[in-house]
Amino acid sequence: MNQTIRSLVAFLACWIVLITTAGAAERPNIVIMLADDMGFGELQCLNPRRGKIPTPQLDAIAASGMVFTDAHSGSSVCTPTRYGLLTGRYAWRTRLHSGVLTGGPSLIAPDRLTLAKLLSAQGYHTAVIGKWHLGMLFDGKHLPKKVPVGAKVTHGPIDRGGFDEFHGFHHARQIETWIDNDVVTETIEPIEMLPRLTKSAVDYIESRKDKREPFFLYVPWSSPHSPVVPSKEWQGKSGLNAHADFVMQTDDSFGRVVQALREAGLLDNTLILCSSDNGTSGPTSKIGQLQEMGHYPSGDLRGSKADIWDGGHRVPFLVSWPGVVRSGSRSSGLVCLSDVVRTVADILDVDLPDNAGEDSISFLPLLKGEVEHERQDVIHHSVSGYFAIRQGKWKLSLCPDSGGWTGTRPSKKSWARYEKEGLPMVQLIDMDGDLGEQHNLARDYPGKVDELRELLEEQVNRGRSTPGLPQTNDAEIVINKRPGK
């Protein structure tokens, strides 16, 4: 049996399981909104002491449901987090071991179960409005920047993501390229993108008002990622800088979607999840300037986008679900964006096959206010491909610095200096007592270093971090990475 046939058999088996296990479970509408480069400390409700940007809409969503204080994206940069959200699988198990995609074939394999495919099998209409950034071809080719109107899109949200509908763009370098479903339909100015996405999301909700089937709407916003282009009405509103203005506009877009649900009479039967793909970008936000004015985009966390430190991947995570999630509630439970797939399956009482959601753990017990929660550990990944693993209060990072853009960037020269000075080449942090990751305890607890390294290696090599049959990673994975190798 060749690989194509094996892939088809695996996909059909997965689809049959999803259809035959569908019961009469409650089927809420599901809306997931994902900011782009919005750190943990950008929201007032998460950072009241060191946050200076008003975020009234996200704060209202938080007040209406549950605020998670220990939630993480699957990576400290864009593409891998989006892969994990839609598949329930860590992206470093694919061919992408560092950085992000700028185009080319999709990171999602044809036979890979996605959140949209899961929900389609349960009778949902599915739509994505926003930034895709998981690979895309135009007329069968990789076009890095300018894309002609009329170009046919493949490897995108429709044929690889499994969505019924798509309106948006691929990634920031092609932000002028507007796509409807699988065709490039026009070009727009970057400053028009966020308002256009907001209107499209509102229009979609209005179109579902009188439909009987439930819907899944995924809204990966374009902002506050660069280009930092707040609309004229938002320019200067923060009193800080353009990034802060853009955060305020993004907050408003979250609120407009919620208001559309309210006006359509759909809010009471809709699960809303709001988060971000990673921390705030230091360079494009001018983070030093913001900090001088008293605003800390990562709150009390160390680092920002791209880093292995928690400022790179601990993200805002808010869930509102009337009648299920208690308003004004908070959870310190450990969760990851990859957990959404298993949580949705749990809500719908669907059993996933072994070759789906390999790194996904349901947080439905947390939403219901139950004490028990299965996730005991999580694997982090930096832009340069450096690993960390967190278990309980302990976090082990397999690099001596940020592993990203903050501080000394990974290089042969910097690592040689660390070794020459006899500094630890890993970081062991007690996150309960040292949220800012200032005190490396690797030399004090060598046994804990070994224990966590072994746990990381076991989860990498099993092809999964959850119970089930071992699976195969898509490529060889280097766990103990060194610069230039």
pLDDT at 21: 39
How much of the chain, in percent, has pLDDT values that exceed 90?
88
Q: In 248-384, which ranges are E strands?
A: 270-276, 317-320, 329-331, 335-336, 377-381
Task: Indicate yes or no: pTM above 0.85.
Answer: yes
Length of the chain: 485
Closest Cα to residue 251, out of 221, 286, 281, 228?
Answer: 221
Residue range(s) occupied by CATH 3.30.1120.10 in the chain: 380-461
Burial (CB < 10 A; 0-12, 13-18, 19+), residue 93, is buried
CA distances from 202 to 163, 205, 254, 258 (A): 18, 5, 10, 9
pLDDT at 11: 52
Return the CATH number of the domain spanning residue range 27-372: 3.40.720.10
Residue range(s) occupied by CATH 3.40.720.10 in the chain: 27-372
Residue ranges, the chain, pLDDT below 50: 1, 3-7, 9-10, 13, 16-17, 19-25
Pairing state of beta strands 137-138 and 153-154?
A: antiparallel
Alpha carbon 464 to its chain's center: 18
Question: 260: helix, coil or strand?
Answer: helix
pLDDT at 485: 60
pLDDT at 372: 75
pLDDT at 12: 52
Q: Is the peptide bond before 467 cis (omega within 30 degrees of 0)?
A: no
Q: In sequence order, what are the beta bridge partners of 428?
A: 396
pLDDT at 374: 84
pLDDT at 147: 94
pLDDT at 22: 40
> Assign residue 349 a region: left if phi > 0, alpha if psi is -120 to 50, beta otherwise?
left
**380-461 under CATH 3.30.1120.10, yes or no:** yes
CA distances from 301 to 232, 269, 335 (A): 32, 35, 17
348 touches 22 (CB < 8 A)? yes
Which residues, other chains included, contact 171 with Cβ-Cβ below 8 Å and sequence gap of 6+? 78, 100, 101, 102, 103, 131, 132, 133
Closest Cα to residue 84, out of 358, 345, 376?
Answer: 358
- Other CB atoms within 10 A of residue 26 CB: 11
